[in-house]
Structure 1
Amino acid sequence: MKINHQYKFLLVIFSLFLFVSCNKKAAETVTEEEHHDETGVVELTPMQVKSAQIVFGIFEKKNLSEVITANGYTKLPPQNQADVSVFLGGIIKTIAVIEGQFVKKGQTLATFQSMEFNNIRLAKAKLTEELQQAKVSKDFLELEFARQKELSDENVTAKKTFQKINTELETIKNKIKNTENQIIILDQNLSLGGNDNASILSIVAPISGYITEVKVKIGSSISANNTLFSIVDNSKMHVDLLVYEKDLFRIKVGQSVRFVLTNQGNQEIIGRIFSVGKAFQNESKSVAVHADINNSTIGLIPGMYVNALIDIGKNDVETLPIDAIAKAEGKEFIFIQEEHDEEPKSKGQEVDTGVHFKRIEVKTGTTQLGFVQVTPLQEIPAGAKIVAKGAYYLQSTMSNSEGGDEHNH
């Protein structure tokens, strides 16, 4: 009987031990499952978020598939560029501008001392008289030119006579042009309130824009027609794109053009085609396509290389910047900021000041101009703040944290 009592006692002890062990394993299993559920979340301090330069964004509708890719350059029309020169010789006395400075049309750029005129009004009167005489000579030479051309066609007179008249006519035309330009300079100085008896003349800006070159110094000797300053007005910038023959039939005036510049933070620039070239560019079998730029206040300068997309369809898809995508375990993810309680649920509990980011698995598609088509594989809460830049940092932080946990286990 004693043996039976001892056997029952041992059986009870063994059963109790087995029950405790099972409960312990169950608890460990629950803990592991809870830890697994949290592997898609990473927490950063506000300072870490700032240091990582994390930027938030939203899904944007873009056409990434029905497009034609084209390369080209930013360009200015000729009427928005100016080389400043004078039609009088002289010595530079003052310079009022520097490279990069904005000037208005008619603003004084520099002054020079004329080597030809000491009295502006007398000089203008003399030039006006010379201009009238030159125009009379031009009228006579034009009549003689027509007569000699007719005789030359009939082989009545030598061709040398005709060529001589032609040369004289061209010479008088150039003299008229130069004289008119000299009168313009004198008129400009009179309108500026200059001293009639002074030989100091002003050089003024023919257009509004930015000074790109200053080719003179104080004391420089200048000659007629030499370029002294260069000015550009970038407000009328457009892009010239080269489209190859195989795509040309799909290009039409009015189509939208998009491109980005890395020095503008990948800001998308929108344009619209206003003209399609009618001839091939050299031997490249490509045609120049010209597009206006809508957002022209973004600091473009002539000659910038661009890689553009010409929209030929309307197949818009949900996109995010490429920097929003993180890759791990052969999959692709984005991160959203997860809302959490900022106030303690019970008295004495610490306030959670961390920023929580949840990882969402996605599928990506076409990539163009720094954007990629994104299809989430799980539901994203409405109005969620998506990490547009910094996903790689968050994934690295998460991987390091998980590695540390495994090491501890």
Structure 2
Amino acid sequence: MKLKHMFASLLLAVVVWACSSKAESERGSANQSTTADESVIPVKLTKVTTVVRAEPVTASGLVSSAEEARLSFKVGGIINKLYVDEGQFVRKGQLLATLDLTEINAQVSQAQLATEKAERDLDRVKALYADTAATLEQLQNATTGQNVATQNLTIAQFNRSYAQIRSTVDGTVIRKLMNEGEFASAGAGVFQISSNRPGDWVVRVGVSDKDWARLRLGNRASIILDAYPDHTFTGTISELAQAADPMNKLYEVEVRINPGRVKMAPSLFAKVTLQPAQSRSYAVIPVEAIVEGNGKDGFVYTLADDRKHVRKIPVQIGFLDGGKVLLTNGLSNVTEIVTAGSAFLTEQSTVILN
């Protein structure tokens, strides 16, 4: 009887173990299936469209005068007198500063004495040559010496005439860079003068090479100054640089402003919107397709050749237009990009079309 009970207990244990193993096996299969399903990301594709538009170019810069002058002395010396201060209005030709002429006058006197001596020497050699007591070479050398002395006198007198600074434009002294008693080397700026005629105000801004290519002289512009936020000024492009700035790689565009009756001053901050005459083509995609956006740069995903994985493509953003993004570069030969699900993707992701 005991043997029967032991056999029944053993049989029951075997049945329980078999059922438990089957249940664990089924649960494991279900977990593997769930994990496999979770590693496949459903995505949605959207076609890339193109549009041709003449979109404005926006940039910022500072107001300045088209006729600005940085005035300096022709020769070096000690500044004797400054006749104007910053903010003062000056007329073209007005005397602004002079140097101490002690040294310069001495140089003129030296040149004058050297010229007189050279003339006496020449007269003496001419008389000797007439008496056949001097050679032709001596006469030629004396003539050359007299000519050189005369030219040196001309240089000294010219330098003395430019030992002063006179205004080259009607305008305002916007900066005084030196004071009386300082040594001014030749060509070192002493005053910065800005013309204040209404038609001379401009804004200079930098644009990219692609925007520069769309702009033309005479294109219209609208300008908003921080000093006058409620007023929009009109202007036209007056100059286009033919080479990029080596520091920032941007092309300078000069926009001439029509100030009307508004008071202008140099260095006012301006926001400029340029209206190019030439249009360009943009690739258009939904904004949700952009991942890792940083300023003008971003990325999008497109399906790989096997249609089960994705490729990450860098793009350059032109601007936003509602829920659309207009791209200036990056999607050549790409017809479809991933929209829904793009935020969860990596280049190792497996995808399925939703």
- TM-score, with length taken from structure 1: 0.37
Greater radius of gyration (CA): 2
- TM-score relative to the length of structure 2: 0.42
Give the structure with the higher percent helix: 1
From the two aligned structures, give the one with the greater strand fraction: 2
